[in-house]
């Protein structure tokens, strides 16, 4: 397991993106088009694109003549202005098999710029002068003739507010305030949890409560770093190093949360002080996959948006995440079925079954949390207008806060808790061999 954590630390220490002043290195790319950036621009906002060291089929752009590029050259930038994310715009256009999109006159919601053969370094800028031109600016590089292209790209985008330049997209303007509030909220929760429960009720504290406290601390630290990240982006256009500790804390917190959910589902420290073989097998398979998935998604998030493998890796590792969640939920459903069958044939098992019924609320909440954060939020993000993109983060963090609050309240350390009864499990193991089988079934419950 240590190797996985070492891998996690290494990859997050090599960030690619620096903020809303971005640099992209295109290497020997022959795709007809690729999307590499979108940004919500308001009146006074500006977009600046600089292409340098442009190579076409391994030769400098200046070595070509204008006549070498038919249909109005067909090599340059296309910008679609929309109210929502339009990163799939050109995929629809190519299905029509029409002329090169750069060779047609631009519409009112389009900007087009063909590269010239007169200079190997070229720039293009646009300022939003009218309210009618506000929107989400989706930037594509178009290569209609499928040349092998290499170049360096610099993209700078910003809005203007009362304090000067603001390098956050219009839809992200509310994120610094939101994260500042969440930092305060989580550290208040940590304070209440530590003093109100761990200290005052310390005779009822077990290992799971310590793990839960670690998750809260990591969450608070990750929020503190992401708040600093957005404040830095807003003022300078660069992350100023905030992304490195953020990814370390965020990935660690995500993995720890998954481990806590698995342990609670297995009844560890609540129903029994040990893990059976089935539990260990689930940990061996699912937890490493979750670690790899989280690390891969960090790499995807920090990679160049126009990368050839970006969408493929993103899809693959999101599928891995879904598979992990699905396996655990199916395992839980089968275990509950086994418990119900056992309860009808053994009177002593009824007491244990009544305890498991209380866990059903927890599993239902976990299922709802997974469904909301993995599915609902994705559809919500694609449907929201560009000014309201911050609501995706708000709903995700609100769901996370409610989930943490529910879990902490239901499994808090207290006297005569219906969840804490390790002695009963011991009794069952020693008095009745048939209930040992039931104990194993209880232990096999996972998320």
pLDDT per residue as tens digits for the range 154-181: 999 999 988 889 999 999 999 999 999 9
Residue 57, Cβ neighbours under 10 Å: how many? 12
Q: How far is the C-alpha of 50 from the C-alpha of 327, rounded, in Å? A: 47
**Which tokens belong to 12?**
């997050």
Low-confidence ranges of the chain (pLDDT < 70): 1-20, 69-73, 85-88, 91-98, 266-276, 278-279, 300-311, 313, 331-358, 415-447
Task: Return d(Cα 137, Cα 41) in angstroms, integer.
Answer: 7
The percent helix, strand, coil of the chain (3-state, each to 5) is 55, 15, 25
Q: For 318-367, what is each residue's pLDDT tens digit?
A: 788 778 777 777 766 666 666 666 655 555 455 555 566 667 788 788 88
C-alpha–C-alpha distance, residues 256 and 254, integer Å: 6
Q: Are 266 and 250 in contact (CB under 8 A)?
A: no
- 311/296 Cα distance (integer angstroms): 12
Q: Enter the pTM of the model.
A: 0.80
Identify whether the C-beta of residue 110 lies closer than 8 Å to the C-beta of residue 77.
no
């Amino acid at each position: 397991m240590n190797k996985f954590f070492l891998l996690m630390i290494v990859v997050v220490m090599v960030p690619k993106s620096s903020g809303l002043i971005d640099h992209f290195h295109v290497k020997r790319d022959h795709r007809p088009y690729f999307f590499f950036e979108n940004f919500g621009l308001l009146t006074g906002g500006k977009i600046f694109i600089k292409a340098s060291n442009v190579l076409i089929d391994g030769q400098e752009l200046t070595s070509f003549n204008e006549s070498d590029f038919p249909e109005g050259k067909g090599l340059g930038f296309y910008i679609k202005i929309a109210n929502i994310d339009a990163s799939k715009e050109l995929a629809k256009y190519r299905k029509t098999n029409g002329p090169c999109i750069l060779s047609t006159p631009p519409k009112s919601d389009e900007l087009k710029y063909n590269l010239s053969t007169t200079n190997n370094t070229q720039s293009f800028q646009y300022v939003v002068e009218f309210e009618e031109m506000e929107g989400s600016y989706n930037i594509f590089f178009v290569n209609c003739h499928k040349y092998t292209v290499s170049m360096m790209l610099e993209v700078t985008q910003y809005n203007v507010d009362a304090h000067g330049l603001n390098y956050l997209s219009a839809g992200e303007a509310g994120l610094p305030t939101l994260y500042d509030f969440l930092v305060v909220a989580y550290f208040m929760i940590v304070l209440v949890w530590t003093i109100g429960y761990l200290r005052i009720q310390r005779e009822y504290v077990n290992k799971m409560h310590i793990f839960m406290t670690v998750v809260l601390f990591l969450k608070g630290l990750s929020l503190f770093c992401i708040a600093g990240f957005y404040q830095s982006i807003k003022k300078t256009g660069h992350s100023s190093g905030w992304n490195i500790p953020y990814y370390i804390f965020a990935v660690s917190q995500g993995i720890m949360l998954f481990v806590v959910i698995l342990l609670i589902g297995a009844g560890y420290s609540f129903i029994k002080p040990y893990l059976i073989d089935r539990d260990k097998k689930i940990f061996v398979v699912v937890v490493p996959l979750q670690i790899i998935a989280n690390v891969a998604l960090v790499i995807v998030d920090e990679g160049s948006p126009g990368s050839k493998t970006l969408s493929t890796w993103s899809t693959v590792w999101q599928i891995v995440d879904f598979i992990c969640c699905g396996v655990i939920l199916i395992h839980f459903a089968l275990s509950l079925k086994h418990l119900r069958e056992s309860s009808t044939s053994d009177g002593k098992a009824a007491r244990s079954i009544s305890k498991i019924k209380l866990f059903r609320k927890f599993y239902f909440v976990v299922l709802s949390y997974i469904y909301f954060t993995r599915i609902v939020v994705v559809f919500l993000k694609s449907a929201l207008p560009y000014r309201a993109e911050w609501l995706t983060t708000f709903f995700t963090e609100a769901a996370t806060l409610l989930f943490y609050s529910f879990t902490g309240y239901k499994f808090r350390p207290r006297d005569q808790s219906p969840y804490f009864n390790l002695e009963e499990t011991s009794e069952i193991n020693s008095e009745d061999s048939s209930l040992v089988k039931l104990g194993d079934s209880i232990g096999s419950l996972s998320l």
